[in-house]
Chains A and B, each alone.
Chain A
Amino acid sequence: MDFALPDEVTMLRDLVREYVRDRLRPLTMQVEEEDRIPDGILQEMKDLGLFSIPFPEEYGGAGLGELGYCVAFEELGAVNAAYSNIIGGHCGLCGMSIALGGSDELKGRYLPRMGTGEILGAFALTEPNAGSDAAHIQTTARRDGDSYLLNGSKLWVSNGPMADLYTVFAVTDRDQGAKGVSAFVVERDTPGVTIGKIDEKMGLRGSRTSEVFFADARVPAENLIGEEGKGFRVAMRTLDGGRMSLGASCVGQAQAALDLALEWSKQRIQFGQPIASNQAIQWMLADSEVEIHAGRMMVYHGAWKIDSGQRASHEAAMVKVYCSEMLGRVVDRAVQVHGGMGYMKEFDIERMYRDARITRIYEGTSEVQRMIIAQDLLSGD
């Protein structure tokens, strides 16, 4: 057993850490106010290779695996959630659904250009009537000659308004339930694809989500990811990696919240001494440290499992539920340590508190994760 990160992952971590400190941190308030990542910054991130971390090297990716991807997400967690969201929708979800389930032709067609960031991807699974119950989506794909006609609407699609292509899940055989769902790569400029209004959210400022509509959108049959009826499988395998990296981002956000709380507790003088001298504060700091460490170890273990070719759905569910709920507790304590200052917009911790809340909901709610974990336990797997 070796807990040391591989050298290349350590270098990636140092690179992202340095980049976050020098380039992204000074922009946190700007991104929050303008609700967008500056174009120049996005281009820099693409040039560094941050839009290609988990893609295989033979398709132009960095080939740094799930572990590299998670370590980068941990570092990105220290700033606005917008950065990990755009990369998450693009790489972890859209790109990896192609990488995991797509034909060599499909991978060759899209992954190299996605890796450089020339084209941006998004993942369209959730619908107005199918959120947690993802198997019951209503979007349909009907075979018509050598193409499919897609009809339906998708909700809260991260990168939806800016994406050049979408991984879209649609029903090809209603009678088959989850086994009748198929996944397609749909290009944005396909006639019949339209974008709805951009969502107004509690947090995640700088990350754009929207509805995406399909009205007789004609998609070539070769854009089917894998085979007909394998869409739900593709979704679940993709989400394993997505949940792992989401957990990593939670660890990074929690670490940043603890760092801020620690700093503040040493500075803030009440009753003639720093509030850090109070055991009530110390216990909050200590509890956070313990939980962050536990979350980090869970993420690294899960990522290692994926990189070694093992299925990790069970671990991904545990990572997702633990790390997101851990973040909720840590960031709540950090606000408490800050007192009234923690409620003020001018303090980072206020944004972090709002950004944190969604992590218990998206990419599978806490309840769905527990459902998965319990089903695995009860089925004796």
Chain B
Amino acid sequence: MNVVVCVKQVPDTTARKEFLPDNRINRAAVENVINPFDEYAIEEALRLKESQGGSVTILTMGPPSAEDSIRKALAMGADSGVLVTDPALEGSDAWSTALVLSRALARLDYDLVMTGMESTDARTGLVPAALAEQLKLASLTYASRVEIADGKVRVNRQIPGGYQEVEAVYPAVVSVVKGVNEPRYPSLKGIMAAKRKEIQKLGFSDLDLPADSAGKTGEKAKAVEVTPRPEKPAGEVIRPDSPEAAAGAIADFLQAHKFI
């Protein structure tokens, strides 16, 4: 079972984000980490490798510094990495990201492509499905459980109020939700081993794509405006005279908001 995990380097979730004049996040101004959702995909791929054999390859598109994210995944136990980096790819939207990843995937040998359900910066969640579309493969998104059996991949697909059981022959694209597993820490041995693992670098010209298909010129979606999240309104403080009054006030509140 050879798995390629597509990861994205994102600004640290706790960091204060700044925006460039064209409404893109200023990635140079913040600390960048592996998209936390992708860590679940990496962990799930490593578990598949441990149970089924095979290999795990990490694929990312991003600035040269995205190599750090690949390196961390290699330290967790992945076998090799591919970094697609080129100034021409800067500003790619979800569609062209999927296009670029699909072209890079065409050069790799895989049974499964895994991703996190979305990235914590843009949060569109579009890339996994767009990627499956580009690759003409089945798309199994929002998996909270992944199982390989009888030549098929079966997942529990998270939906409001429960889950669907979905299966497909592989190769297929699977995106996982938070909580599908508990991602491991890289070990010290893993860190040292990662130094010696190969990271292949690809540029735009390696992808055999028309010049206007990616980057700013290839965008199909445009960020029109960026608005900061509105401040949270102050909470209501109730100062009752007795425990009974407090219990009553809490019950009224819960009832008013239809919790009980």
Contacts and interface: CB of A to CB of B under 8 A. Distances in A.
**A-B pairs with lowest CB-CB distance, top 8:** A49-B188, A62-B188, A11-B191, A49-B187, A48-B187, A8-B191, A49-B189, A8-B195
Interface in A60-79: 62-64
8 contacts: A7-B71, A8-B192, A11-B72, A15-B75, A18-B185, A19-B185, A52-B188, A62-B188
Contacts of B191: 8, 11-12, 15, 62, 64
A11, A47, A63 pick with most chain B CB within 10 angstroms: A11
A81 B170 CA distance: 51
A50 B191 CA distance: 12
A25 B23 CA distance: 37
Nearest to A72: B188
Contacts of A18: 185
A334 B187 CA distance: 34
A57 interface: yes
Contacts of A48: 185, 187-188
Contacts of A235: none
Interface in B195-235: 195
A53 B185 contact: no
Contacts of B240: none
Instruction: State the main secondary structure of chain B at its contact with A.
Output: helix
The binding surface of chain A is classed by DSSP as helix
A63 B193 CA distance: 11
Contacts of B188: 12, 15, 48-50, 52-53, 62, 64
Contacts of B187: 47-49
B39 to A, nearest CB: 11
Given A50-B188, A64-B191, 9 more contacts: A8-B195, A11-B71, A11-B191, A48-B185, A49-B188, A49-B189, A52-B188, A62-B188, A62-B191
Interface residues of B, number: 12
B127 interface: no
B194 interface: yes
A63 B188 CA distance: 9
A15 B75 CA distance: 10
A154 B48 CA distance: 51
Interface string A243-274: 00000000000000000000000000000000
A53 B192 CA distance: 11
A341 B76 CA distance: 41
Contacts of A8: 191-192, 194-195
Contacts of A12: 188, 191
B171 to A, nearest CB: 31
A9 B195 CA distance: 11
A355 to B, nearest CB: 25
A284 to B, nearest CB: 27
B182 to A, nearest CB: 11
A111 to B, nearest CB: 14
Nearest to A52: B188
Contacts of B53: none
Contacts of B71: 7, 11
Contacts of B192: 8, 57, 62-64
Contacts of B64: none
B189 A11 contact: no
B248 interface: no
B87 interface: no
A91 B13 CA distance: 35
Interface string B155-194: 0000000000000000000000000000001111101101
Contacts of B72: 11, 14
A185 to B, nearest CB: 24
B65 to A, nearest CB: 12
A7 B195 contact: yes
A47 B187 CA distance: 7
Contacts of A57: 192
B14 to A, nearest CB: 11
Interface in B48-96: 71-72, 75
Nearest to A19: B185
A57 B196 CA distance: 14
